[in-house]
Amino acid sequence: MHKNLKKISFSDLIITENDNYIVVNKPPFIASLDDRAESKNLLSLAKEVNENYQICHRLDKETSGVVVFAKHPDAYRNFAMQLENREVKKVYHAVINGLHKFEDFEADEPLYTTSTKSRVDFRTGKPAFTLITTLEIYKKHSLVKCFPVTGRMHQIRAHLAHHEAPIVNDPGYGGDPAYLSELKRNYNYKKWEEENPIINRVALHSYQVAFRDLNEQVIEVEAAYPKDFSVLLKLLRKFN
């Protein structure tokens, strides 16, 4: 587990809550559910507060951002039905390699998924649909927002990679790390030391979620960027 996560409590992560739901901002490097390698995960943190809390969806371990918890079974069912009917709106922000101008670009290639990875496969893949829009363009990278209409595993990562716009530091999908030496002119680092990437995980953040509460009112929540994602954007803007 990442060194900063040992002291985290569930209450530290809460963005908003009511009688039915709690919405949290998941830090990177903590698993959503049981991870055999780690004793602590997001669900176990929640259950330390209340055994009845249930996680409604999951994020990959390295991905940061919005996660919804239900406080009781009716709330869980309500969210699960909306998820099944593709009525939950999730928006992700990603920093990608290269200069790309996407405007409501429709990535609709079918995805074939194994236990660890997804790939575009027009013969045996299942339908997958992601809307992609560019927010900012830098010197060698772009910031995009992605709205996955379907919920296939690694859908955003696989679709972006297929369109030659892999996410920064996502080697499994062809994404190169971002280094300060690529951005800053006359950057001096000691030749005998290996340069560290600016962000040492997949540069993907679950930015926003919107769904209906039990009383049909819409709950819409945004999650602030974690420090590593903010630092990456700050440097990309500074040396643009």
Catalytic amino acids?
60
**Number of C-beta neighbours around residue 22 at 10 A:** 23
- Strand, coil or helix: 143: strand
Give the pair of three-digit tokens for residue 11: 């209450």
- Rounded to whole angstroms, the Cα distance separating 17 from 9 reads 16
Question: Any idea what DSSP says for residue 170?
Answer: -
Q: How many helices (H) and strands (E) does the chain have?
A: 6, 12
- Strand, coil or helix: 15: strand
**DSSP H or E segment with residue 92:** strand 89-97
Please say whether the beta carbons of 24 and 58 come within 8 A: no
- Rounded to whole angstroms, the Cα distance separating 4 from 34 reads 19
Beta-sheet pairing, 141-148 with 130-137: antiparallel
Please say whether the beta carbons of 30 and 16 come within 8 A: no
Please say whether the beta carbons of 141 and 97 come within 8 A: yes
Which residue shows structure tokens 């009383």?
215
